[in-house]
Structure 1
Amino acid sequence: MIKLVLLRVDGQTYALPLAAVDRVLRMVEITPLPGAPEVVVGVINIQGEVVAIVSIRKRLGLAPRAVVAADSLVVVRARTRRLAIIAESVLGVVERPADAVVCTGDIVGGTPQIEGVLKTHDGLVLIQDLDRFFSPEEEQSLDLALEKH
């Protein structure tokens, strides 16, 4: 069985592995981070730690939308850092059999940040691969931008 946190972005449901999710926060003011990759909206301070805020919307090339106070931040652990992902809403946690997830390589290529697809009664849920959310170049430019911050 796999446990996933479901969130909504641009009318589409996405999922994050529950084990990678630290917490969900209300939207706060985001400080811009010059020199960061395009998918990084800015940074916030969580208990003394500077955490990059990222946009699934930007990563997938969806239409731009301003961040609003009703949005949420899903704080996650990805490979070497903590990130916060902007969500229009967080729908909760679901548990599904592992064989319910279809590998994206079987469906569509060119989306390394999508780990798999889960079919639900509401449609398809795209499961994010947090360890591959950034390319190596983006990781490096984010590290440099954070050092200068």
Structure 2
Amino acid sequence: MSDSRQLLVFRLDARRIALDLAVVERVIRAVAITPLPAAPEGVCGVIQLHGKVVPIFDIRQRFGLPGRTLRLSDQIVIARTDRPVGLCVDEIEAVAAYPVERIVAADSVLEGLAHVQGVVSLDDGLLLVHDLAGFLSLEEARQLGSALAQLPAA
């Protein structure tokens, strides 16, 4: 029996994207997001979640999609990198296991797929496996840390 990876599959417009389930803490409904001055591009703002400030990202631009206003039907995937982060997504499709041999390195399929760790070929298209670990550049991480440090203490 082959090894498999558990993935949380979600949609951004017609694109199907996944995250390793191991980095996902939870999924919440869209909520009001407080703007975060001086945050790097792509940061919508912050939310309070169980007493912690969580930066929320619009990852649409990372996948070459036009930005749009958050909708009530959207969801936020809370995931872990160096800190908890939230990713705005259109909808959660599934939690699915894929054999590791079906997940090919992104650069072997198409060059320039930044933030994509792997690709799974499905009967009805491609599933892009997002690389959350490399999501922020060092400069973006520094800028986000600086913006978060400027928030007033709760």
TM-score class, shorter = over 0.9
State the Cα distance separating 1:39 from its structure 2 match.
1.1
Residue 20 (1) aligns with residue 7 (2): no
The answer to whether the Cα contact below 8 Å between 2:7 and 2:21 also exists between their aligned partners in 1 is: yes
Show the counterpart of 2:140. Answer: 138
Residue 62 (1) aligns with residue 43 (2): no
Question: How do 1:65-80 and structure 2 match up within 5 A?
Answer: 65-78=68-81, 80=82
Distance in 1 separating the partners of 2:26 and 2:124: 25
Q: Aligned-residue CA RMSD in angstroms?
A: 1.0
The answer to whether the Cα contact below 8 Å between 2:6 and 2:98 also exists between their aligned partners in 1 is: yes
State the Cα distance separating 1:134 from its structure 2 match.
0.5
- State the identity %: 39
The answer to whether the Cα contact below 8 Å between 1:38 and 1:58 also exists between their aligned partners in 2 is: no
> Which is further off, 100-109 or 67-76?
100-109
Q: Tell me the amino acid that sits aligned with residue 131 of structure 1.
A: A
Question: How do 1:52-131 and structure 2 match up within 5 A?
Answer: 52-78=55-81, 80-131=82-133
Q: Tell me the amino acid that sits aligned with residue 57 of structure 2.
A: V
Q: Which runs of 5+ in 2 are unaligned?
A: none
- Matched positions, count: 148
Matched position secondary structure for 1:76: strand
State the Cα distance separating 1:111 from its structure 2 match.
3.0
TM-score (norm 1): 0.95
Matched position secondary structure for 2:71: coil
Matched position secondary structure for 2:76: strand
TM-score (norm 2): 0.92
Distance in 2 separating the partners of 1:96 and 1:77: 21
Show the counterpart of 1:9. Answer: 12
The answer to whether the Cα contact below 8 Å between 2:58 and 2:67 also exists between their aligned partners in 1 is: no
Map Cα deviations across residues 64-99 of structure 1 (whole Å, 9 max, x no partner).
Answer: 211111100000011x11111111000110101001
Distance in 1 separating the partners of 2:101 and 2:142: 35
The answer to whether the Cα contact below 8 Å between 1:4 and 1:18 also exists between their aligned partners in 2 is: yes
Q: Tell me the amino acid that sits aligned with residue 59 of structure 2.
A: I
Distance in 1 separating the partners of 2:90 and 2:102: 25
Map Cα deviations across residues 20-40 of structure 1 (whole Å, 9 max, x no partner).
Answer: 100000000000001111111
The answer to whether the Cα contact below 8 Å between 1:7 and 1:90 also exists between their aligned partners in 2 is: yes
Matched position secondary structure for 1:33: coil
